[in-house]
């Protein structure tokens, strides 16, 4: 039995070793690894307990062996006592027989037989007592040793099973947890199997003719590889994985560490249409020509565009490095230059950096204070360091739209927007209650998770925005209305009777009785310049945004949005017009850009069926028309009188707006005719729109046009 127990323990140890090896092989799965290690540990404890039992059982066996020798001696004594008992019994029988045979007449024989019988009986009694004693001793020792051994064995098992019970009681919560996880795994496995069956069924009916690999051009990649994918290299006719590296400005093969093109700054890329193979393009350098083949036309266009962008980036970075070496960096300024100067420098990004950094507070990151930020959130109007810009990207474009101040091209209206706001203005809004709540603002070098938590609390939860009461909102709305009234009155007094028919340039503010109906509470109705309804209106955040857009007050607009105003809020008292339409009537190109960057709808219509493009066309705001067309406004939309922006501009004889609308329509038709792989637009179209944008932002007087009859568009 002891040998069998030892063999059992040996087999169990081998089993536990196998479990531990399996746990090591499952190191990638934390649940399986930790569970197997825990089970192996408990089973090893049970083996140790069982080994202890066998040791205790082996000790009584040795004692039994020693006791067996003593019992053997007692047994020998018993046998000797039995022999004496048998001998005395025979002698007693003989004495009884002799005593019975003694004659009565022989007195001396009778006395002799009687004395022998008495002595024999006495001896017999002593021998019987010794014999019985030996029998009792043997029986007592037998009973005590058996019970003692079995009792010790049973106590050992009691200890073994009690320790095992305690051990597995501690393991029971883990076993229950794993049971629940196992049930979930079974459910997930069944669901996954069902999904795979559905995918198999879907794949059987799927058309793989256009199943192209998705490629993304990432200029901010940390490893410098902005794009990678598979291309056929024509020389070897093998599938080679190629990547574009901005670090070395080269096109390299990843799987085989060879440089396909050493310096992209010396190269050009072009389509190859005169060869038999499809989807080919060629990267030409002064020393060699490298022919590449993509899997489809879409992938070829993506690779060509990526190479072209990398070449442009290489030249730009080279130029910036040269400027830094020569010490030719100019001082920062937020003044807007002429359209020609901005156009020449728009690709470098240096002009954007200088102007935006010239605004107060923009020289450090808005959220953590890191000096010399090189990124910006264009819908918030703030500058950011590279770490905070990454966090802003993770929030989503509905919270923050991030753009590089040095790598991206900046449109003039976007530059003006950045110069109108800035870190100081936005922090006054989004950090108004920070000190009151005792929140700590991150510092440069703080852990990313702390900075991320602060930014989410600031912009997503808007925890630090000052909560405003209804009375404060009413006062703010009345203040904006009074400001609007003063501006309207001064405009009418200055212009006289013709003010209601004079149009404004794209950068000026125009208020006309023909196109604007304003509700102002507790004011008498007046008929000059403005048509004012006397019905009071409940002050809301949407109403604040509505009038702030008309007054061209970007801080008040940003404040209203921070408090939760809907950017597409409609004013039922003003023909369901939106803040974007009011920004058009206010004549502010920057206010329109701010609303568009914050997801304002460029095609939402009022009760007359007119969208922002209609209103800008009616008012003759050429810059706003150009902006809305660039932002995707539908120029084919007709109002309730079935008039489109083009028909309105033609009737008003506004040559600039007619030119823009017709050019945009022609470009749209060209793109539709070219199909899926058409470029973003004709170069002539892009140049003309860029010129109009520059003039609208920097020299609006050049776009000043006058309407002769606005009464046709009530």
Query: What DSSP string runs through 546-582?
Result: HHHHHTT-HHHHHHHHHTT--TT--BGGGTTB-HHHH
Provide the CATH number for the domain around residue 254: 2.30.29.30
Q: Considering its fold, how many domains does the chain have in total?
A: 4
DSSP classification of residue 440: P
Give phi and psi for 134, each to the nearest 5. Answer: -65, -40
Does residue 217 fall inside a structural domain?
A: no
Dihedral, 308, 694, 643, 578 alpha carbons, nearest 10? 100
Q: Give the Cα separation of 150 and 158 in Å (integer).
A: 12
Q: Give the Cα separation of 174 and 40 in Å (integer).
A: 14
Give the end of a domain, one of 272, 293, 325. 325
Q: Which helix (H) or strand (E) holds 192?
A: helix 107-204
Does residue 534 fall inside a structural domain?
A: yes
Residue whose entry in the numeric block shows the structure tokens 């008498």: 524
**What are the Cα distances from residue 580, in Å, to 571, 615, 634, 647, 695?**
12, 10, 15, 22, 21
Helix (H, G, I), strand (E, B) or coil at 282: strand
Does residue 529 fall inside a structural domain?
A: yes
Question: In this structure, what token pair is assigned to residue 628?
Answer: 């809305």
Identify whether residues 525 and 562 lie together within a single domain: yes
Q: Give the Cα separation of 693 and 413 in Å (integer).
A: 7
Q: Give the Cα separation of 171 and 377 in Å (integer).
A: 54
Q: Give the Cα separation of 306 and 332 in Å (integer).
A: 32
Find out whether 582 and 550 touch, Cβ atoms under 8 Å.
yes
Identify whether residues 364 and 308 lie together within a single domain: no
pLDDT for the residue numbered 714: 45
Residue whose entry in the numeric block shows the structure tokens 């204070």: 369
State how far Cα 705 lies from the chain centre.
51
DSSP classification of residue 467: P
Radius of gyration in angstroms for the set of CA atoms belonging to the chain, rounded to a whole number: 50
Identify whether residues 576 and 659 lie together within a single domain: yes
State how far Cα 189 lies from the chain centre.
25
Please give the residue range of the domain that contains residue 234.
225-325
* DSSP string for 628-689: HHHTT--TT---TT---HHHHHHHHT-HHHHHHHHHHHHHHHHHHHH-TT--S--HHHHHHH
* DSSP string for 337-348: --HHHHHHHTTT
Provide the CATH number for the domain around residue 437: 1.10.220.150
Identify whether residues 393 and 343 lie together within a single domain: yes
Provide the CATH number for the domain around residue 46: 1.20.1270.60
Q: Give the Cα separation of 350 and 439 in Å (integer).
A: 35
Identify whether residues 317 and 358 lie together within a single domain: no
**Ramachandran class of 709: left when φ > 0, alpha when ψ lies in -120 to 50, beta otherwise:** beta
Identify whether residues 396 and 318 lie together within a single domain: no
Does residue 305 fall inside a structural domain?
A: yes
Contacts of residue 302, Cβ cutoff 8 Å, sequence gap at least 6: 215, 217, 227, 294
Q: Edge-to-edge strand order for the sheet containing 375-377? A: 382-384, 375-377, 402-404
Low-confidence ranges of the chain (pLDDT < 50): 65, 246-248, 319, 322-323, 325-349, 488-536, 676-678, 706-714
DSSP classification of residue 401: -
State how far Cα 89 lies from the chain centre.
106
Q: Which residues pair with 270 in a beta bridge?
A: 282
- Single out the residue of 655, 653, 654, 660 nearest to residue 691, CA to CA: 660
Q: Give the Cα separation of 380 and 388 in Å (integer).
A: 14
Identify whether residues 433 and 570 lie together within a single domain: no
Provide the CATH number for the domain around residue 546: 1.25.40.20
Does residue 334 fall inside a structural domain?
A: no
* Beta-carbon count within 10 A of 653 CB: 11
Identify whether residues 174 and 258 lie together within a single domain: no
Strands 268-272 and 280-284: antiparallel
pLDDT for the residue numbered 336: 33
Q: Give the Cα separation of 14 and 367 in Å (integer).
A: 60
Identify whether residues 428 and 538 lie together within a single domain: no
Give the end of a domain, one of 298, 325, 352. 325
Residue whose entry in the numeric block shows the structure tokens 């945004």: 545
Identify whether residues 518 and 590 lie together within a single domain: yes
Contacts of residue 436, Cβ cutoff 8 Å, sequence gap at least 6: none
Does residue 448 fall inside a structural domain?
A: yes
Helix axes of 423-430 and 554-562: crossing angle, nearest 10 degrees = 30
Give the end of a domain, one of 434, 460, 486. 460
Does residue 216 fall inside a structural domain?
A: no
Number of DSSP helices (H) and strands (E) in the chain, helices first: 21, 12
Question: In this structure, what token pair is assigned to residue 207?
Answer: 């058309």
Find out whether 617 and 609 touch, Cβ atoms under 8 Å.
no
**Ramachandran class of 462: left when φ > 0, alpha when ψ lies in -120 to 50, beta otherwise:** left
Does residue 219 fall inside a structural domain?
A: no
Q: Give the Cα separation of 78 and 76 in Å (integer).
A: 5
Question: In this structure, what token pair is assigned to residue 141?
Answer: 């020792």
- Single out the residue of 488, 477, 480 nearest to residue 528, CA to CA: 488
Identify whether residues 176 and 251 lie together within a single domain: no
Q: Give the Cα separation of 481 and 484 in Å (integer).
A: 5
pLDDT for the residue numbered 648: 92
pLDDT for the residue numbered 222: 54
Identify whether residues 554 and 658 lie together within a single domain: yes
Q: Give the Cα separation of 370 and 18 in Å (integer).
A: 55
Find out whether 615 and 585 touch, Cβ atoms under 8 Å.
yes
């Amino acid at each position: 039995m002891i040998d069998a127990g030892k063999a059992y323990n040996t087999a169990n140890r081998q089993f536990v070793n196998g479990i531990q090896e399996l746990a090591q092989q499952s190191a990638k799965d934390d649940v399986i690894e930790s569970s197997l290690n825990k089970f192996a540990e408990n089973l090893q404890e049970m083996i140790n307990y069982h080994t202890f039992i066998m040791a205790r059982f082996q000790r009584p066996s040795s004692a039994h062996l020693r006791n067996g020798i003593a019992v053997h001696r007692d047994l020998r004594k018993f046998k000797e006592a039995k022999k004496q008992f048998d001998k005395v019994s025979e002698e007693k029988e003989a004495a009884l027989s002799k005593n019975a045979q003694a004659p009565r007449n022989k007195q001396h024989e009778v006395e002799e037989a009687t004395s022998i019988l008495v002595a024999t009986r006495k001896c017999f009694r002593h021998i019987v007592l010794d014999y019985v004693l030996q029998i009792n001793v043997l029986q007592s020792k037998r009973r005590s040793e058996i019970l003692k051994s079995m009792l010790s064995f049973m106590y050992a098992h009691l200890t073994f099973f009690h320790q095992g019970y305690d051990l597995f009681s501690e393991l029971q919560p883990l076993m229950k947890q794993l049971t629940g996880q196992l049930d979930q795994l079974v459910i997930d496995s069944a669901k996954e199997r069902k999904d795979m069956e559905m995918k198999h069924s879907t794949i059987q009916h799927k058309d793989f003719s256009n199943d192209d690999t998705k490629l993304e051009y990432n200029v901010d990649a940390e490893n410098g590889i902005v794009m990678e994918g598979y291309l056929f290299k024509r020389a070897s006719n093998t599938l080679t994985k190629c990547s574009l590296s901005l670090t070395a400005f080269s096109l390299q093969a990843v799987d085989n560490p060879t440089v396909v093109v050493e310096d992209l700054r010396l190269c050009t890329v072009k389509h190859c249409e005169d060869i038999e193979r499809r989807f080919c393009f060629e990267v030409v350098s002064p020393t060699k020509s490298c022919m590449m083949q993509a899997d489809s036309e879409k992938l070829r266009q993506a690779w060509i565009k990526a190479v072209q962008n990398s070449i442009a980036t290489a030249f730009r970075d080279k130029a910036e490095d040269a400027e830094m070496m020569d010490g030719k960096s100019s001082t920062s300024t937020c003044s807007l230059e002429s359209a020609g100067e901005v156009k020449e420098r728009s690709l470098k990004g240096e002009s954007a950096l200088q102007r935006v950094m010239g605004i107060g507070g923009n020289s450090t990151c808005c959220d953590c204070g890191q000096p010399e930020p090189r990124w910006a959130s264009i819908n918030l109007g703030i500058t950011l360091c590279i770490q905070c810009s990454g966090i802003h990207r993770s929030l989503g474009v509905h919270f923050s739209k991030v753009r590089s101040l040095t790598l991206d091209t900046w449109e003039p209206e976007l530059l003006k927007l950045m110069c109108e706001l800035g870190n100081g203005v936005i922090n006054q809004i989004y950090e108004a209650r920070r000190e009151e709540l005792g929140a700590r603002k991150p510092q440069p070098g703080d852990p990313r998770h702390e900075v991320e938590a602060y930014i989410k609390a600031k912009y997503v939860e808007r925890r630090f925005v000052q909560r405003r009461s209804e009375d404060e909102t009413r006062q703010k709305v009345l203040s904006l209305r009074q400001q609007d009234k003063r501006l309207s009155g001064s405009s009418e007094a200055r212009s006289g009777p013709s003010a209601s028919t004079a149009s404004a340039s794209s950068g000026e503010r125009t208020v006309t009785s023909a196109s604007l109906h304003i509700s102002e509470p507790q004011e008498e109705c007046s008929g000059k310049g403005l048509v004012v309804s006397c019905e009071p209106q409940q002050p809301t955040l949407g109403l604040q945004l509505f009038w702030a857009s008309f007054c061209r007050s970007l801080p008040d607009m940003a404040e209203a949005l921070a408090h939760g105003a809907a950017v597409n809020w409609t004013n039922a008292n003003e023909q369901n017009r939106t803040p974007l339409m009011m920004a058009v009537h206010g004549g502010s190109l920057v206010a329109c850009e701010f609303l568009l960057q914050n997801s304002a709808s460029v095609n939402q219509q009022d009760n007359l069926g007119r969208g922002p493009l209609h209103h800008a066309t009616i008012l003759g705001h050429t810059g706003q028309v150009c902006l809305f067309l660039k932002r995707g406004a539908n120029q084919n939309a007709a109002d309730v009188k079935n008039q489109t922006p083009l028909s309105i501009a033609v009737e008003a004889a506004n040559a600039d707006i007619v030119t823009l609308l017709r050019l945009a329509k022609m470009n749209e038709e060209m793109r539709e005719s070219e199909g899926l792989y058409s470029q973003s637009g004709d170069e002539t179209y892009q140049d003309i729109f860029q010129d109009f944008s520059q003039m609208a932002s920097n020299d609006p007087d050049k776009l000043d046009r006058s309407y002769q009859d606005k009464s046709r568009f009530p």
